[in-house]
Amino acid sequence: MDFSFSTEEEAFRQEVRGFLEENLPDPVPTTPEFLREWNAKLRAKRWVGFAWPKEEGGGGGSLIEQYILKEEMSLRRAPPLGSDFMGLAWVGPALIRHGSEAQKKRFLSDILDSSSLWCTGYSEPDSGSDLASLKTRAVRDGDEYVVNGQKIWTSAAKQAKWIFNLVRTESSSRYGGITCLLIPMDTPGIEIHPIDNLSGRPGFNEVFFTDVRVPVENRLGKEGEGWRVVMGALANERSGISESTEMTRKLDSLIELARNSRKAGRPALEDTSVRRELAAFDTRIEAMRLNGMRNLSRQLKGDPPSSETSINKLLRGALEIRMAELSLEVLGSASQLEGPWQNAALSFHGTVIGGGTPNIQRNIIGERILGLPKD
Amino acid sequence: MNFGFEEEQELLRREIRKFLDEQCPMEEVRRLAQSSDGYSREQWKQLAELGWLGLMLPEAYGGAELTWVDAVVLLEETGRSLFPSPLISTTLAGSAIADLGSEDQKGRWLPGLADGSRIGTIAFLEDNDVLGPAGIQLRGRPRGDAFLLSGEKRLVADVEQADLWLVPFRVGDPEDAIAIAVVERDADGASGRPLPSIDRTKRTGTLQLDEVPVGPDALLGPPAGASLGLSRVLDRGALALCAEVIGAAEAALRITVEFAKQREQFGHPIGHFQGVKHPLAEMYVEVESLKSLLYYAAWAIDEDPEVAPAAISRAKAYAADAFTRIGIDGIQLHGGVGYTLEYDIQLYLKRSKWARSMYGDADYHYDRVARARGL
């Protein structure tokens, strides 16, 4: 057991802090110009795609240094390491593992430069938690696939240039009949319908495919390998550590709110149940951080990423809900009005459901880890 | 960074496991729980021979000079077996004497604790039920360079089994004016009286002190200088307890998972149903998160003492709530048989009830976490 960092790792932390000191104004600007400049600076330091192999344009950095980098960035509320979120999280790692040389050449540097924007086509109206039942069809026609079907809950579909899309090429095999296609969003036959989220804002979209023709060279991996391609990417780098720094920041704001509020005529922080709840949040966030370090440690030893990441997904979901509820308790009667905390208490549901609902995570743990019979 | 046990520690775990499986299976636990001693002197002797009673004591006094992380390995396994013995009490007494005692005192008491000829315990709780220096109201009445102690200490673990009672008492008004005396079993005016514990594998009772004289050679450290030492020993108690909780909670989970795989209703093993599967998954999340919190705390005690108290409080607060829930759900998921004396799961429920308040309950420890965060 050793939770300390080596001198080189500590030196790297200082380097990151120095960089942030020099390049990140407080408060952090949100203009597109700043973001462009910011992305360019990070790219020059090879901090975007930090742990991707050097020969693919990444930083070739260690997982521990990546953890340090993300932690420091998150503590200073820096913008993300690169703007093409889906490209960096899903598409790039999948390309590195399964892509042809031509595909890597074509896509990876754009993702790292934040000059591309990807969306992902997973869920369908009848295939949510049961993703492997997806029905969007792709039928081979010469050198092309013809795609017909519908995706739903697609974030950023309007802005994205490309979609990383799961389709069915074979109906008899549940997992083995799924293939991954990379499709330009301006291909004829693609139609996007935004869906308003419960706050009335456009949060995600439906994407319809009608006779969309996709060249075979845009297939990622072999036909029928789509499930493997996605599951590998899904597990990639999901140690959940940076999530804990994000939650720490949320807790800081919640404590500030409690510090400045009164509950039943007394300072809210003097309320025993509020104090206890805040301390319980602190403890659960620390558990998330340490669970993340445990996952990281496993990866360092060469173990494949495992279902253990479901643990932090569950902890986070429960925390989001309880923290939002406590903010409303602290606000008292004002919780009936619209406001930033009140809106947050409506919108965390997206984070909790996205990427697999809590009940799906419980199934994963129950079946894959505890060995209980599948239902 | 390495979040995991070393090869030697895994070896230690296997040895302990083997010993407990052979020497103290559940029938033996049940027998000892009903015996008047509450533990097996024969097994105690063997523990000493295997070097596990002096695991952390200095080599010069018969110990193995290992760390708290090693002790966690030992205690996880004794907890898993619900092994009835005064192991935690004796470990704490030894660690307090090693920490605070003079060379003379160490030479007088530590070898006996390491070789199994003597059992030690700490009598830290009084009528006010306040943990820590503030709760110590028993005053030493000065007589020459000695003190006379009169009063009662409550819920003293293994009070009747112990040969050495470590007795904190007050020597002045400031909160931290605390001394710790080592009172030997045959001292005039001192006697232990057992009380029925909710968990018969853990013994407890009252220590009566009637004009018990303690000379300077029986005081650990300077008079009025043991406040910090007392806090530290209580922290270590919480840590040790959490390690046993991990083993016990994991065992309760395993037993219940096995039951859920075998018991069939509605034509399926009940573990197939989400109403059973999901609480089991939650139990797993709790156990694994507790491990993360506790391993960090155990590492911190030796390597980063400043963060240790808050880290221990997070673990104990989390353990108290998590094990409570695991105890209750373990019984509930068993259904009717869970409520019988015959099935082992009830033994874990009783352990959870005992462990909940020992060395501070969740309220106490969450309050400390809140303080550590400046609330």
Percentage of residues of chain A with pLDDT beyond 70 = 97
| Chain A residue with Cα closest to B372 | A279
| Chain B residue with Cα closest to A292 | B292
Place of tokens 């696939």: A145
Which of B3, B10, B293 to substitute to test the interface with A, most A CBs within 10 Å?
B3
Chain A from 164 to 203: CB within 8 A of any B CB:
none
* pLDDT (0 to 100) of residue A230: 87
The Cα B300–Cα B68 span in angstroms is 9
* pLDDT (0 to 100) of residue B221: 87
Which of A260, A322, A359, A372 to substitute to test the interface with B, most B CBs within 10 Å?
A372
Place of tokens 């808050």: B310
Where are the CATH 1.20.140.10 domain residues in chain A? 238-369
Chain B from 319 to 338: CB within 8 A of any A CB:
321
CB proximity A146 to B under 8 Å: no
Strand B268-269 to B264-265 pairing: antiparallel
pLDDT at A375 over 80: no
Q: Phi first, then psi: what are they for A144, rounded to 5°?
A: -130, 160
Q: A348 pLDDT band (50/70/90 cuts)?
A: confident
SS3 A213: strand
pLDDT at A105 over 60: yes
CB-CB neighbors (< 8 A) of A64 in chain B? 1
Please give the distance of CA A123 from its chain centroid, rounded to a whole number: 15
The Cα B74–Cα B94 span in angstroms is 16
Determine whether the interchain pair A287/B295 forms a contact, defined as Cβ–Cβ distance below 8 Å. Answer: no
CB-CB neighbors (< 8 A) of A308 in chain B? 288
* pLDDT (0 to 100) of residue B37: 96
**How distant is the Cα of A14 from the closest Cα of chain B, in angstroms?**
18
Determine whether the interchain pair A366/B303 forms a contact, defined as Cβ–Cβ distance below 8 Å. Answer: no
CB proximity B4 to A under 8 Å: yes
CB proximity B314 to A under 8 Å: yes
CB proximity A139 to B under 8 Å: no
Determine whether the interchain pair B281/A296 forms a contact, defined as Cβ–Cβ distance below 8 Å. Answer: no
pLDDT at A113 over 90: yes
**How distant is the Cα of A227 from the closest Cα of chain B, in angstroms?**
25
Where are the CATH 2.40.110.10 domain residues in chain A? 118-224
Q: Give the dihedral of Cα atoms A216, A219, A225, A231; nearest 10 deg.
A: -170
Alpha helices in A62-124 (DSSP H): 63-75, 85-86, 92-98, 101-112
The fold of A238-369 is: Butyryl-CoA Dehydrogenase, subunit A; domain 3 (1.20.140)
CB-CB neighbors (< 8 A) of B285 in chain A? 311, 314-315, 365
Q: What is the DSSP letter of A114?
A: T
Chain B from 63 to 92: CB within 8 A of any A CB:
69
* pLDDT (0 to 100) of residue A240: 60
CA angle B181, B86, B238 (to 5 degrees): 75
With 0-12 / 13-18 / 19 or more C-beta atoms within 10 angstroms meaning exposed / middle / buried, residue B336 is exposed
Determine whether the interchain pair A283/B277 forms a contact, defined as Cβ–Cβ distance below 8 Å. Answer: no
Nearest by CB to residue B375, choosing from A255, A280, A371, is: A255
Cross-strand bridge partners of residue B193: B206
Catalytic positions of A = 237
Cross-strand bridge partners of residue B169: B179
Strand B120-122 to B164-170 pairing: parallel
The Cα A156–Cα A178 span in angstroms is 23
Determine whether the interchain pair A3/B6 forms a contact, defined as Cβ–Cβ distance below 8 Å. Answer: no
Determine whether the interchain pair A367/B295 forms a contact, defined as Cβ–Cβ distance below 8 Å. Answer: no
**How distant is the Cα of A317 from the closest Cα of chain B, in angstroms?**
12
Can you state the percent helix, strand and coil of chain B, rounding each to 5? 55, 15, 30
CA of B325: how far to CAs of A312, B286, B295, in Å? 19, 9, 21
Determine whether the interchain pair B370/A369 forms a contact, defined as Cβ–Cβ distance below 8 Å. Answer: no
List pLDDT tens digits, range B247-285. Answer: 999 999 999 999 999 999 999 999 999 999 999 999 999
List pLDDT tens digits, range B322-360. Answer: 999 999 999 999 999 999 999 999 999 999 999 999 999
| Chain B residue with Cα closest to A65 | B1
The Cα A103–Cα A111 span in angstroms is 12
B102-117 mean pLDDT: 98
Q: What is the DSSP letter of B159?
A: T
* pLDDT (0 to 100) of residue A176: 96
CB proximity B288 to A under 8 Å: yes
Q: B369 CB contacts (<8 Å, ≥6 apart)? A: A279, A282, A283, B310, B313, B314, B317
Q: A34 CB contacts (<8 Å, ≥6 apart)? A: none
List pLDDT tens digits, range B118-154. Answer: 999 999 999 999 999 999 999 999 999 999 999 999 9
| Chain A residue with Cα closest to B260 | A372
SS3 B213: strand
* pLDDT (0 to 100) of residue A237: 47
| Chain A residue with Cα closest to B72 | A1
Q: Phi first, then psi: what are they for A213, rounded to 5°?
A: -95, 125
List pLDDT tens digits, range A23-69. Answer: 999 899 989 999 999 999 999 999 999 999 999 999 999 989 998 99
List pLDDT tens digits, range B18-74. Answer: 999 999 999 999 999 999 999 999 999 999 999 999 999 999 999 999 999 999 999
B307-330 mean pLDDT: 98
Q: A119 pLDDT band (50/70/90 cuts)?
A: very high
The Cα A114–Cα A83 span in angstroms is 5
| Domains of chain B, CATH where assigned | 7-118 (1.10.540.10), 121-224 (2.40.110.10), 228-372 (1.20.140.10)
Q: What amino acid is encoded at B192 in this protein?
A: G
**How distant is the Cα of A316 from the closest Cα of chain B, in angstroms?**
12
* pLDDT (0 to 100) of residue A302: 83
**How distant is the Cα of B303 from the closest Cα of chain A, in angstroms?**
9
CA of A111: how far to CAs of A121, A144, B293, in Å? 17, 25, 37
With 0-12 / 13-18 / 19 or more C-beta atoms within 10 angstroms meaning exposed / middle / buried, residue B231 is middle
Mean pLDDT over the full length of chain A: 92
Find out whether A358 and A317 touch, Cβ atoms under 8 Å.
yes
Q: B220 CB contacts (<8 Å, ≥6 apart)? A: B96, B97, B100, B101, B105, B166, B179, B180, B181, B182, B226, B229
The Cα B54–Cα A182 span in angstroms is 63
More confident residue, A342 or A354: A342
**How distant is the Cα of A351 from the closest Cα of chain B, in angstroms?**
19
The DSSP code sequence of A131-175 is GGG---EEEEETTEEEEEEEEEEETTTTT-SEEEEEEES-SS-TT
Chain A / chain B CB contacts < 8 angstroms? 158
Q: A81 pLDDT band (50/70/90 cuts)?
A: very high
Determine whether the interchain pair A4/B288 forms a contact, defined as Cβ–Cβ distance below 8 Å. Answer: no
The pair of structure tokens assigned to B199 is: 């968990």
- Predicted ipTM of the assembly: 0.96
CB-CB neighbors (< 8 A) of B5 in chain A? 1
CB proximity A302 to B under 8 Å: no
List pLDDT tens digits, range A204-261. Answer: 999 999 999 999 999 999 999 999 998 876 665 455 666 888 899 999 999 999 999 9
Find out whether B292 and A294 touch, Cβ atoms under 8 Å.
yes
Find out whether B120 and B94 touch, Cβ atoms under 8 Å.
yes
pLDDT at B179 over 90: yes
Cβ atoms within 10 Å of B125's Cβ, excluding its own: 25
CB-CB neighbors (< 8 A) of A129 in chain B? none
CA of B111: how far to CAs of A182, B118, B122, B123, B165, in Å? 71, 9, 18, 21, 16
SS3 B183: strand
CB proximity A68 to B under 8 Å: no
pLDDT at A106 over 80: yes
Which of A294, A370, A374 to substitute to test the interface with B, most B CBs within 10 Å?
A370
Determine whether the interchain pair A1/B280 forms a contact, defined as Cβ–Cβ distance below 8 Å. Answer: no
CB proximity B289 to A under 8 Å: yes
With 0-12 / 13-18 / 19 or more C-beta atoms within 10 angstroms meaning exposed / middle / buried, residue A53 is exposed
The Cα B244–Cα B241 span in angstroms is 5
List pLDDT tens digits, range A255-302. Answer: 999 999 999 899 999 999 999 999 999 999 999 999 999 988 888 888
Chain B from 244 to 283: CB within 8 A of any A CB:
257, 260-261, 268-269, 271-274, 276-278, 280-282
The Cα A105–Cα A101 span in angstroms is 6
CB proximity B186 to A under 8 Å: no
The Cα B95–Cα B216 span in angstroms is 20
CB proximity A64 to B under 8 Å: yes
**How distant is the Cα of A285 from the closest Cα of chain B, in angstroms?**
10
The fold of A118-224 is: Butyryl-CoA Dehydrogenase, subunit A; domain 2 (2.40.110)
